[in-house]
Amino acid sequence: MLNGTTAEHVERKALRINPAKTCQPIGAMYAALGIHACMPHSHGSQGCCSYHRSHLTRHFKEPVMATTSSFTEGSSVFGGLANLTMALRNIFTIYDPEIVAVHTTCLSEVIGDDIPTIVGKSREEGGVPAGKYVIHANTPSFVGSHVYGYSNMIVSMVSYLAEKTGTTKNQVNIIPSFIEPADMREIKRMAALTGVPTVMFPDTSNVLDGPLTGKYQMYPTGGATVAQIKSSGDSIATLALGHFGAHNAAISLETKCNVPASLMELPIGVGATDRFINTLRTLGGGEVSAELELERGRLVDLMSDLHQYFHGKRVAVSGDPDMVIALTQFLVELEMKPVYVITGSPGNTFEKRIHEILDPVVPDAKIKQCSDLFELHQWIKKEPVDLLITNTYGKSMARADNIPFVRFGFPILDRAGHRFYSTMGYAGAVRLIDQMLNAILDHKDRTCAEEWFELVQ
């Protein structure tokens, strides 16, 4: 383990050390997996696709399928037209997907390949069979983050597939930000309990957390179908959960098909989940079920029972901006003090929103976008915290400074259960409380003096 971090903070503009993000194509590939019978395609070198697949595979502990244009030196000079044309023909011939979702990489973006023209040429030459679909998103790795790539691919789903037939369907679209398959399943479950018919896209539930049946499926049963995404243009409204990952797609759908967009944040904790359920109920004419009321009551009871363990605890939070914003609100509901809050993704909305949440309760909090874990560790070295919440990359600083640590967000590479257990809604908040409290009390048991080592905490 490397621990060269010092408490002396030096402002860096041209260098990121252990950045709290990864590149756009990973997000685009993940979003594409949320379409049923879709083959994600990386338009670039084979190494790019291999990295993106392996990173997702390590997080989800599931094999991630994707294809690549396999650029060589010649492609880098003369462009990737021949590579993508041949790739599409081979993909539909060998793997027979219903849809191919192409995303670009640094190399193809620098070259400036015109993907729509290449796809059109391939279709004219018979490389794309009748009744099959190809969509594309521009996702250069040298700008944005994986959350931006995810967002760009969903915008592509809307621009290529969504249709307005003139007949309004009694359904509400739900577009989630970059979250776990279990989170998407939980959001659908809560929506079903309101009685409102919904269409969620993308939807990776039952794709990257499916069962082991003994028979391999290239295209698992999960994912939003092309027909469902097409029907989103006829929906009553769209509920977009997350400014960075979901709002752009909802706005695009409103512009294209005149489907009203309701822009919200991810439903983590009491207040955000209340807003999600009430907005969905209002849009779709549903009602709050007794089961949801019971789940909310259990969460509030647990928060009341355990208040003394959380009150005033200093917390450092890092991760994807939409997840961090939602989690920070929940920490404030628990009367904890998020003193350091960062994301590696760009976007002024992050700092503005976190300030709105924290200025009334933690006015001296350090909040920063485009930051990295090295800088976060410098802050912690100078003024320690009681709890660290971030992805697997935070384990080094947790070990170095003996900090209670909760893994949260993407990627989690050294644990397995996260893809099965949601952090969304009232039930997800109960799980978060359990994780945080266990981390804090386990740390106390390990480090306290003998006379304070109690059986009952």
What is the CATH number for 248? 3.40.50.1980
- Of 161, 196, 214, the one marking the end of a domain is 161
- 116, 231: one domain: no
Please give the single-letter amino acid code of residue 210: G
DSSP string of 415-441, one letter each residue = -SGGGTS--SHHHHHHHHHHHHHHHHH
Sign of CA dihedral 221, 222, 223, 229: positive
The pLDDT value recorded for residue 210 is 87
Q: Which two tokens stand for residue 36?
A: 């049923």
- The Cα–Cα gap between 356 and 352 comes to 6
- Of 137, 161, 185, the one marking the end of a domain is 161
Residue 30, in any domain of the structure: yes
Per the structure, the count of domains in the chain is 3
- 447, 313: one domain: yes
- The Cα–Cα gap between 261 and 304 comes to 35
Encode pLDDT of 45-81 as tens digits: 999 999 999 999 999 999 999 999 999 887 777 788 9
The backbone torsions φ and ψ at residue 102, rounded to the nearest 5 degrees and listed phi first, read: -90, 130
The pLDDT value recorded for residue 9 is 82
- 321, 263: one domain: no
The pLDDT value recorded for residue 2 is 57
The backbone torsions φ and ψ at residue 175, rounded to the nearest 5 degrees and listed phi first, read: -115, 110
> Which residues span the domain enclosing 407?
294-452
- 44, 141: one domain: yes
Share of the chain above pLDDT 70, in %: 100
- 367, 227: one domain: no
With a CB cutoff of 8 Å and minimum separation 6, the contacts of 254 are 238, 260, 261
The pLDDT value recorded for residue 76 is 75
- Structural contact between residues 316 and 389, judged by C-beta atoms closer than 8 angstroms: yes
- Annotation marks residue 106 as catalytic: yes
User: Angle, to 10 degrees, between the axis of helix 46-60 and the axis of helix 24-32?
Assistant: 60
- 409, 448: one domain: yes
Give CA torsion, residues 61, 176, 166, 228, to 10 deg.
Answer: 10
Q: CB-side exposure of 93: number of CA atoms within 13 Å?
A: 8
Residues constituting the chain: 457
The backbone torsions φ and ψ at residue 115, rounded to the nearest 5 degrees and listed phi first, read: -65, -45
The pLDDT value recorded for residue 298 is 98
- 357, 401: one domain: yes
Opening angle at CA 96, ends 208 and 203, nearest 5: 30
Residue ranges for the chain with pLDDT beneath 50:
1
The pLDDT value recorded for residue 3 is 73
- 123, 204: one domain: no
Residue for token digits 């595979």?
A: 57
Q: Which two tokens stand for residue 272?
A: 């955000």
- The Cα–Cα gap between 216 and 333 comes to 44
Output the pTM of the full model: 0.95
DSSP symbol at 171: -
Residue 269, in any domain of the structure: yes
Of the listed 48, 106, 196, 199, which one is catalytic?
106
Q: List, in sequence order, the alpha helices (H) in 286-366.
A: 290-305, 307-310, 321-333, 348-358
Which residues share a beta bridge with 264? 241
Which residues share a beta bridge with 136? 102
Average pLDDT, the chain: 95
Encode pLDDT of 396-413 as tens digits: 999 999 999 999 999 999
- Annotation marks residue 341 as catalytic: no
- Structural contact between residues 173 and 266, judged by C-beta atoms closer than 8 angstroms: no
- The Cα–Cα gap between 11 and 6 comes to 13
- The Cα–Cα gap between 444 and 457 comes to 10
- Of 251, 269, 289, the one marking the end of a domain is 289
With a CB cutoff of 8 Å and minimum separation 6, the contacts of 253 are 158, 162, 173, 232, 233, 238, 259, 261
Q: CB-side exposure of 194: number of CA atoms within 13 Å?
A: 25
Q: Give which of 383, 237, 220 is closest to 315, Cα–Cα.
A: 383
Strand 172-176, strand 198-200: pairing: parallel
H or E stretch including 341?
strand 337-342
Residue 312, in any domain of the structure: yes
Please give the single-letter amino acid code of residue 385: V
The pLDDT value recorded for residue 34 is 98
The pLDDT value recorded for residue 456 is 81
Q: Which two tokens stand for residue 226?
A: 């092309």
Of the listed 110, 143, 361, 448, which one is catalytic?
110
Residue 7, in any domain of the structure: no
